Amino acid sequence: MQLSPATRLVALLATLMVALTACGDDEAPEGPLAKKSESASASPTEAAATAPPVPRATDNEAGRKAFARWFVKALAYGNGTNDPKPINAVAANDDKVSCSTCRAYTKFLKGQESKGITTRPSTFEIRKLFNTGQIGNGVHAYSAIVSHPAAVDVKEDGTVVKKYEASNKYLIEVGIRFRGGAYEIAGWKTTGGT
């Protein structure tokens, strides 16, 4: 029985979640791609002001690593501004790979915007970054363990709608593919933790 790329991605991400949950000291970087204390966005004001520029695409490990870091920044930007355009501009959409998560994220942000709600602050600090392997159709999976401060979903008038506790083990997993001289997002998932 042949599994679809989406099914393989879900299986890989579930396996990775079990492995990461079993990991010990989250302060010690692991692997050749580990990078400690890189902020996804410097401040909520900066996150709201400017979309992060997409890094120059190189079809190698350094290029994939840079794009995965960019994605974390773009996600923080989107959450803080309700603007999915940076992510949608690089969403995979062909007969082999299509980013359904990107479409769902756009729908979610439109709903937030229609209610006048944004997340404040919307920042992520990358604590660890892992290349978790190639999963098919040229898609590579990367996992970023990030921390974020306590945050709120807030309306334009200042009314707090929802509160989020600070977390130092928030997992962002993204599938990326190099195609036509540029990187694309194949999909992603996030999993909270404290």
Mean pLDDT computed over 185-194: 85
Residue 186 pLDDT exceeds 90: yes
Distances (CA, A) of 44 to 121, 125, 146: 5, 13, 16
Domains and CATH numbers, the chain: 5-20+34-191 (3.10.450)
**pLDDT given at position 193:** 61
Select the more confidently predicted residue: 90 or 36: 90
Helix (H, G, I), strand (E, B) or coil at 110: helix
Mean pLDDT in the chain?
80
Question: What is the DSSP track for 38-89?
Answer: EES-S-HHHHHH-PPPPPPP-SSHHHHHHHHHHHHHHHHHHHHH---HHHHT
Confidence band of 192 (pLDDT split at 50, 70, 90): confident
Residue 174 pLDDT exceeds 70: yes
**pLDDT given at position 39:** 38
Residue 9 pLDDT exceeds 50: no
Q: Please name the amino acid found at residue 14.
A: A
- Percent pLDDT > 90 in the chain is 71
**Residue 20 · residue 145 · CB < 8 Å:** yes
**pLDDT given at position 49:** 62
Query: For 10-68, what is each residue's pLDDT tens digit?
Result: 443 333 333 333 333 333 333 333 333 333 433 343 344 699 999 999 999 999 999 99
Mean pLDDT computed over 131-147: 95
Q: How far apart are CA 24 and CA 27, in angstroms?
A: 9
Mean pLDDT computed over 97-116: 96
Confidence band of 155 (pLDDT split at 50, 70, 90): very high
For the entire predicted model, the pTM comes to 0.76
Write the Ramachandran bin of 115: left for phi over 0, alpha for psi from -120 to 50, otherwise beta: alpha
**pLDDT given at position 23:** 38
**Residue 104 · residue 117 · CB < 8 Å:** no
